């Protein structure tokens, strides 16, 4: 009962209730919250510290920045949402806060739009070399486990497209990316889509900021060809998969378009299906036959592998690739 009393005490202050209401609507930094509330940064930071210690808010580091959002797990997570829901919709302070939050989001969208427009031509050039993304996405969705997914992770989330695509199927979705610029774009896209249960984090694909066996599904979409150590990236993805969990990889089959190295920073010119399947087996996963989606000139491959429900890491025979 003590944890409940501590949580109620932490929330029983006007500014802290306003902070809960704001952080329930998306991830916000101390600087953004200070702008919205019109209070000093040390004071806002003290309030945030109390709410985090009470388990009502969660805090995530992103370089020199820290993001706050309403707690989704833990003994007081349900209480946090209940308190937010109990705040009257017509509250004068909350209405002003939400108006200022709208200004913060508009500034985010403007910055994200600038970054996206500067890079869109480069991305569209790559898309023109293979089958339409719609076909790839439809196939990917069919390869997801049936029923609701608990925890889903997208490694190298980029603009957050995989999170938007899979969020309706999962209770919690997290995207990891090493680029703050891309995370800014992803946050705007997730806000536009109204996906409050989706979040993004700054992170390294070789050292994921997640505990082992914590994810039901992991997706690596068009990222592996940028990796210096693809096998190491897959081994780290396998580490965070729960028994029975599924790893889905989308990338190019081996090709000869060498200009993609110099003009688009590709480190690998695609992969042989058996090569990736071998890495998956050595990571303790059971690979299915690769699905091939032929294009002109690039062929997209989708690899699906699962962690055995029983703790068996004995290598399996590497399966052959299949057509779509």
Per-residue pLDDT of the chain (324 residues; tens, 9 = 90+): 787 888 888 889 999 999 999 999 888 889 999 999 999 999 999 999 999 999 999 998 766 778 898 998 788 888 999 999 998 878 888 899 999 999 988 887 787 567 556 665 666 566 667 888 899 999 999 999 999 999 999 999 988 999 999 999 999 999 999 888 888 889 989 988 999 899 999 999 999 999 999 999 999 999 999 888 889 999 999 999 999 999 999 999 999 898 887 777 788 889 999 999 999 999 999 999 999 999 889 999 999 999 998 654 444 555 556 665
Other Cβ atoms less than 10 A from the Cβ of 117: the count is 9
161 and 281 in a single domain? The answer is: yes
Residues 42 and 163 in one domain: no
pLDDT of residue 313: 46
Strand, coil or helix: 289: coil
If one counts the domains in the chain, the total is: 2
Does 159 share its domain with 214? yes
299 is a domain residue? yes
Provide the 8-state DSSP code for 308: -
Indicate which CATH number applies to the domain containing 20: 1.10.10.10
Do 90 and 161 fall within a single domain? no
Model's pTM, two decimal places?
A: 0.74
**Domain extent at residue 242:** 128-323
Which are the contacts of 127, defined by CB distance < 8 A and separation ≥ 6?
Answer: 133
What 3-state DSSP class applies to 127? helix
Could you give the CA distance from residue 51 to residue 132 in angstroms, rounded to a whole number?
Answer: 46
- Reading the block at residue 188, the tokens are 């705007």
Residue 230 lies in a domain: yes
Q: Are residues 164 and 226 in the same domain?
A: yes
The answer to the question of residue 292 being in a domain is yes
**Pick from 285, 279, 287: nearest CA to 314:** 285
CATH number at residue 183: 3.40.50.150
* CA 300 – CA 298 distance, rounded (Å): 6
In the block, tokens 């209770």 appear at 171
Query: Are 79 and 206 members of one domain?
Result: no
Q: Are residues 137 and 89 in the same domain?
A: no
Q: Residue 276: CB partners within 8 Å, gap ≥ 6?
A: 224, 230, 234, 249, 251, 287, 290, 301, 303
Same domain, residue pair 141 and 90: no
Domain boundary among 99, 118, 147: 99
Give a yes or no: residue 271 inside a domain: yes
- My answer on whether 179 and 82 are in the same domain is no
Q: Are residues 10 and 56 in the same domain?
A: yes
- Same domain for 149 and 240, yes or no, is yes
Place of tokens 């005490």: 9
Q: Does residue 300 belong to any structural domain of this protein?
A: yes
Is residue 38 a part of any domain in this protein? yes
Q: Give domain status of residue 108, yes or no.
A: no
113 is a domain residue:
no
Same domain, 209 and 161: yes
């Amino acid at each position: 009962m003590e944890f409940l009393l501590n949580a109620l005490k932490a929330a029983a202050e006007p500014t802290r209730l306003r902070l809960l209401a704001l952080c329930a609507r998306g991830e916000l930094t101390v600087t953004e919250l200070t702008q919205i509330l019109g209070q000093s940064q040390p004071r806002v930071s003290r309030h945030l510290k109390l709410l985090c210690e009470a388990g009502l808010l969660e805090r995530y580091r992103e370089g020199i920045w820290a993001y706050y959002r309403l707690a989704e797990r833990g003994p007081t997570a349900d209480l946090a949402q209940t308190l937010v829901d109990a705040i009257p919709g017509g509250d004068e302070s909350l209405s002003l806060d939400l108006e200022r939050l709208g200004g913060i989001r508009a500034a985010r969208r403007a910055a994200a739009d600038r970054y996206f427009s500067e890079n869109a031509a480069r991305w569209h050039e790559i898309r023109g070399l293979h089958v339409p993304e719609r076909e790839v996405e439809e196939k990917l969705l069919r390869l997801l486990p049936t029923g609701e997914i608990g925890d889903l992770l997208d490694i190298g989330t980029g603009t957050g497209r995989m999170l938007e695509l899979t969020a309706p199927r999962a209770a919690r979705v997290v995207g990891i990316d090493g680029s703050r610029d891309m995370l800014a774009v992803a946050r705007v896209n997730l806000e536009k889509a109204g996906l409050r249960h989706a979040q993004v984090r700054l992170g390294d694909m070789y050292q994921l900021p997640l505990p082992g066996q914590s994810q039901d599904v992991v997706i690596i979409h068009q990222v592996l060809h940028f990796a210096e150590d693809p096998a190491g990236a897959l081994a780290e993805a396998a580490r965070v998969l729960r028994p029975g969990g599924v790893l889905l990889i989308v990338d190019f089959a081996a090709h000869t378009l060498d200009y993609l190295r110099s003009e688009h920073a590709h480190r690998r010119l695609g992969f042989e299906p058996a090569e990736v399947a071998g890495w998956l087996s050595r990571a303790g996963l059971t690979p299915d036959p690769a699905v091939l989606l032929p294009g002109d000139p690039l062929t997209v491959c989708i690899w699906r592998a699962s962690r055995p429900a029983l703790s068996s890491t004995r290598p399996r025979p590497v399966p052959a690739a299949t057509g779509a």
